[in-house]
Chain A
């Protein structure tokens, strides 16, 4: 069972308590965007075998969206962080670096 620490309420939640929201840090396209840009935003994904940054929602808990750094191959979790950011925080990146080198 995948367990993630909700960075808002501090609860370590089982995956049954959470809803996955897919890849994080996507560039959101607006009304003037081209078909290519919308395709990119809506459908094209890196789908990495390895480290992924993704969105999760603590649906059966505090209800907040948050972000997770996880490995899709080993299921290792490197850290969770609040969703109000455009890129992963330095602390999480350092944690990934520390465990991958």
Chain B
């Protein structure tokens, strides 16, 4: 595969850009692979990538029911941060954030990582104390965050109204090295790198059944024929429960819809990411100028990828209160993704009750930021058969043992 570089850009432009090759191949599925990953979203592709890069396992297929990166990877608000309370979470999210910093060079694909800073507003006294506590934890964990005053909030974000009538800004947890990245590019970059290593990315291939042979290998029935593999990784987010049922086990997961929306593009006016967890509104400005807005998740189980209208109203109402300047913006698009929520709001990277099947799910509403770290940890688990330091606390067993990584208490909300 030809490397992307300034030179190749110049060469192609002289050629009217007719010489670019496809970023990844679309081969017919083989009968046999060492590893099959179900789900070609960010997490699935990252798992495959680090299996090849870190562990030399390249006879890998990545099966995708729809199209590559068309699930939650293409449906989020692209926020990247690692300011978590619990040590296990901080470790994996910080690993992820630090991998994002070098990902464009690593993949030779511009993922447009923009460490513009993430600000989590404290709007109740309880929340303010909570963020000060996280800030203290982050200092011990070696993650650079800062608890800042309302005046500093205003300085960093000119368009914010710190005297909101319902919930005035009392302070904020500021992570200067957090930010955003281009979500599609993350999926495409990993896909291109996987394809380059000889891995098979098979789209429009739905898994319809999973059965285990006596020798431990797995037969996967798909809409494109039967595929056999030694190890299977399930990385399908919202549909994890559906896939687990095919393999005969249940998960501590409930699937709900989470929505986001974008406004018409406007001139640059917001160069940080602002998250307001009390009122459920998240906002940043994309490179195109659109305001990218996220809100709360639906309260009931749902696979419809739409979400409830009431959440749009609540989110927009909260944001207009904080950013009066956006009150006359028109919204362009709205979409929903199905997120997989666990009881403690922390993910699962684990062996399963079925030998040689591994699962990576439960990222809930915080999946995008964790893509590289999640793939890194999952690849280690699948290659060695045992979890490494990053994945170990996130086993399925923790629900039986009561060993939770409780980020719902830490953040006070789904996030």
Q: When the two chains form their complex, are residues A72 and B301 in contact, meaning their CB atoms are under 8 A apart?
A: yes
**Of all chain B residues, which has the CB nearest A68?**
B300
Number of interface residues of A (CB under 8 A): 27
Q: When the two chains form their complex, are residues B300 and A54 in contact, meaning their CB atoms are under 8 A apart?
A: yes
Q: How far is the CB of B207 from chain A (nearest CB, A)?
A: 13
Number of interface residues of B (CB under 8 A): 25
B residues within 8 A CB of A2?
300, 308
Q: Chain B 209-249, CB within 8 Å of chain A: the 1/0 string?
A: 00000000000000000000000000000010110010000
Q: When the two chains form their complex, are residues A39 and B399 in contact, meaning their CB atoms are under 8 A apart?
A: yes
Q: How far is the CB of B397 from chain A (nearest CB, A)?
A: 9
Q: Is A98 an interface residue (CB 8 A)?
A: no
Which one of B239, B308, B309, B343 contacts A42 once the chains associate, using CB atoms below 8 Å?
B343
Q: When the two chains form their complex, are residues A45 and B250 in contact, meaning their CB atoms are under 8 A apart?
A: yes
Which one of B254, B302, B309 contacts A1 once the chains associate, using CB atoms below 8 Å?
B309
Q: How far is the CB of B156 from chain A (nearest CB, A)?
A: 34
Q: Chain A 67-101, CB within 8 Å of chain B: the 1/0 string?
A: 00010111100000000000000000000000000
Q: When the two chains form their complex, are residues A20 and B299 in contact, meaning their CB atoms are under 8 A apart?
A: yes
Q: When the two chains form their complex, are residues A72 and B343 in contact, meaning their CB atoms are under 8 A apart?
A: no
Q: How far is the CA of A52 from the CA of B252 in the complex (A)?
A: 16
Q: Which of A15, A22, A39, A48 has the most CB of B within 10 A?
A: A39
Q: When the two chains form their complex, are residues B241 and A45 in contact, meaning their CB atoms are under 8 A apart?
A: yes
Q: When the two chains form their complex, are residues B303 and A72 in contact, meaning their CB atoms are under 8 A apart?
A: yes
Q: How far is the CA of A14 from the CA of B242 in the complex (A)?
A: 29
A residues within 8 A CB of B342?
43
- Among A26-56, those with CB < 8 Å from B are 35-36, 38-39, 42-49, 52, 54
B residues within 8 A CB of A72?
255, 301-304
Q: Is B400 an interface residue (CB 8 A)?
A: yes
Given A1-B310, A15-B310, A35-B400, are A45 and B304 also a contact pair (CB < 8 Å)? Answer: no
Q: How far is the CB of B308 from chain A (nearest CB, A)?
A: 6
Q: When the two chains form their complex, are residues A36 and B400 in contact, meaning their CB atoms are under 8 A apart?
A: yes
A residues within 8 A CB of B299?
15, 19-20
Q: Is B322 an interface residue (CB 8 A)?
A: no
B residues within 8 A CB of A44?
250-252, 399
Q: When the two chains form their complex, are residues B400 and A49 in contact, meaning their CB atoms are under 8 A apart?
A: no
Q: When the two chains form their complex, are residues A47 and B251 in contact, meaning their CB atoms are under 8 A apart?
A: yes
Which one of A16, A35, A43 contacts B252 once the chains associate, using CB atoms below 8 Å?
A43
Q: How far is the CB of B413 from chain A (nearest CB, A)?
A: 16
Which one of A1, A48, A73 contacts B304 once the chains associate, using CB atoms below 8 Å?
A73
State the main secondary structure of chain A at its contact with B: mixed
Q: When the two chains form their complex, are residues B301 and A52 in contact, meaning their CB atoms are under 8 A apart?
A: yes
A residues within 8 A CB of B250?
44-46
A residues within 8 A CB of B85?
none
Q: When the two chains form their complex, are residues B310 and A16 in contact, meaning their CB atoms are under 8 A apart?
A: yes
Q: When the two chains form their complex, are residues A47 and B301 in contact, meaning their CB atoms are under 8 A apart?
A: yes
Q: How far is the CA of A16 from the CA of B310 in the complex (A)?
A: 8
B residues within 8 A CB of A52?
301
Q: How far is the CA of A49 from the CA of B242 in the complex (A)?
A: 7
B residues within 8 A CB of A16?
310
A residues within 8 A CB of B61?
none
Which one of B239, B241, B304, B400 contacts A74 once the chains associate, using CB atoms below 8 Å?
B304
Which one of B245, B309, B343 contacts A43 once the chains associate, using CB atoms below 8 Å?
B343
B residues within 8 A CB of A39?
252, 399-400
6 tightest CB-CB pairs across the interface, nearest first? Answer: A43-B252, A47-B241, A20-B300, A39-B400, A20-B299, A44-B250
A-B contact sample (16 more), CB < 8 A, given A1-B310, A44-B250, A45-B254: A1-B308, A1-B309, A2-B308, A16-B310, A19-B299, A20-B299, A35-B402, A36-B400, A42-B343, A43-B399, A44-B252, A44-B399, A47-B254, A72-B255, A73-B304, A75-B302
7 A–B pairs (Cβ distance < 8 Å), ordered by A = A1-B310, A15-B300, A15-B310, A39-B400, A45-B241, A72-B255, A75-B304
